[in-house]
Amino acid sequence: GVSGEGEGVKVETSTSYIEEASISPPVSDAK
């Protein structure tokens, strides 16, 4: 959901959070 990060994610949505979580192990672990 962060601009400039993720796979071209520009809009802050639940899907963006899921994608970022998959890319960032620390984030998914924290959830």
| Half-sphere exposure of residue 9: CA atoms within 13 angstroms, side-chain side | 16
- Residue 15 structural domain: 1-31
Three-class DSSP category at 29: helix
Model pLDDT, residue 7: 57
Could you say which residues of the chain have pLDDT below 70? Answer: 1-31
In order of 13, 22, the CA distances from 6 in angstroms are 12, 10
Q: SS3 of 12, please?
A: coil
Q: What is the pLDDT of residue 23?
A: 60
Q: What's the domain count of the chain?
A: 1
- What does pTM read for this prediction? 0.18
